[in-house]
Structure 1
Amino acid sequence: MYWQSEDSLIETFIELFKPQSTSSFVLRREFVTNYGRPDVVVIEYDEKSLDRRRSEIGTKPDKFPKELAHGMTYLSGKPWVRPETLGQFLNVSKSHLKRIIGDLDARGLVQFRGPCVKARTRTELLVVRRIWVFEAKLKNWRVALDQAYRHLWFTGDSYVLMPQTLRQDEIANECRQYGVGLSVICRNDCIKYPLRAIEKGVRNCPIVWTINEELVGGYYEPLELQSPDRSDSRSFTRSHSY
């Protein structure tokens, strides 16, 4: 198979992609991460955890604002925190902090003991299991490598995506030095991974909490597979809606 554009390469990848586990997944194109727009983002999640979280919330929540995402990043994994300490980290007024904590509580993300607040455990809250990121190039793989490397701040599963090539070993060696994986589309319509990313799993950071909570909120709806509109993110999902 011969690809005349990166979009055609990406669309072939989308049609062929299968996760490495039985997890459900949502696939997004041109997803904004505040530090780049990966060509493809695949969000693997656990359906039972998603159902449980949605049943706890009840009604569909608003989209997850950045201040709540930063708040959860700060609180996650910490012992009990006094509200003023969180307020200092977020650099917000007392009234604003009160609204933030109230919103976190309404979403079932935090618990209280006396005046102190604490995030519930990640095991209880995270429905996202892995986030795969792919940067596609037909030939200029060094650019894709630089782009994929930038995404390691929020996920270990960052990959260069390109057609199968005779330079595969050379490219894989370069990717290994940066901790990035290599995925290729073969002529017989299959995806191979000559090099797996060194790490896997997600980081404790605002974009991961945003992805998690907006998945819980039902904001990643299925759309037809097509070339991305630069003003929006396209998505494909194998799951149920909210």
Structure 2
Amino acid sequence: MPNSKPLRFRTEESLVNDFVLFLNRTRKSKFEVLREYEGGFGIPDLLLYSLPEKRKAKDIASLACINPRLAPLLSEATAKRIDTLAALSQTTGASLNSTRRIFLELSDIGRIKKGSNAMPGFQISPIAIPPFKQVVAIEAKLRDWRRALVQAYRYIQFANESWVLIDHGTSSSALRHKEQFQTYGVGLASFTTGGKLFVHVPAVNRPWSNSALAWRTQALLARDLVQT
């Protein structure tokens, strides 16, 4: 008898839904799953993030309350350069009035240390180590693996790992080009309608990226964690 063709997912949504069920059934509790994350440079279908340590509660609270676009101000490299409203304005590119509002927002979340009479000005209390140590982006596609690879490569700007998840029933073309995934450090996995996961190319796990998008992601994840 000829080999039967593997079953295929009808829609990308069904692929993602079944994969989320798989994650919920098999993953360790240290990861949470966020769907359709707006990363500022594309929208991964799934974003997995590690739960922070309890001692990071203050940092989580600060990041959850701050406007995500201002989160990079809490990095040590940026915070140490800002000690006046003029420096804050220059860093953010905001007008003086907007800079005052930014200063008040930082103050409201407890991230401003005011100077003394002898040393006027202020300091921003930075976050030394971002609370979400591991962030994994996943782009799911039924068959268009080339487009998925381009999108997944962009997610490296805010994720430690980036993956393409493809329907196992239509994965043959992607598997013939595994070297492209290896070149860009993007992982390739396929998933069956029966709930089996195949890892074909492991993703490169990159160290924390001190980029604006990475800090924005930390703030959005903090907000998601607090709201759940």
TM-score, structure 1 normalization: 0.72
What is the deviation of 1:21? Answer: 5.9
1:1-242 maps to which residues of 2 (within 5 A)? 1-17=7-23, 22-25=29-32, 27-49=33-55, 51-53=57-59, 62=65, 64-72=66-74, 76=77, 79-83=80-84, 84-111=86-113, 114=119, 115-123=121-129, 126-164=130-168, 165-167=171-173, 169-186=175-192, 188-217=194-223, 221=227, 241=228
Separation in structure 2 between the aligned mates of residue 28 and residue 220 of structure 1, nearest angstrom? 13
Separation in structure 2 between the aligned mates of residue 14 and residue 199 of structure 1, nearest angstrom? 21
Instruction: State the one-letter code of the partner of 2:87.
Output: T
Alignment CA distance shift 1:173-1:20 (3 Å): farther
Q: Whose Rg is larger?
A: 2
Stretch deviating more after TM superposition (31-40 or 193-202): 193-202
Separation in structure 2 between the aligned mates of residue 79 and residue 14 of structure 1, nearest angstrom? 41
2:3 alignment partner in structure 1: none
Alignment CA distance shift 1:24-1:47 (3 Å): farther
Structure 1 segments unaligned to the other structure (5+ residues)? 222-240
Q: Is the 8 A contact 2:45 2:139 kept in 1?
A: yes
> Whose helix proportion is higher, 1 or 2?
2
Q: Is the 8 A contact 1:172 1:181 kept in 2?
A: no
What is the deviation of 1:87? Answer: 1.2
Separation in structure 2 between the aligned mates of residue 138 and residue 216 of structure 1, nearest angstrom? 31
Separation in structure 1 between the aligned mates of residue 111 and residue 215 of structure 2, nearest angstrom? 11
What is the deviation of 1:7? Answer: 0.9
What is the deviation of 1:97? Answer: 1.8
Structure 2 segments unaligned to the other structure (5+ residues)? 1-6
SS of alignment partner, residue 128 of structure 1: coil
TM-score, structure 2 normalization: 0.76
Q: Is the 8 A contact 2:166 2:191 kept in 1?
A: yes
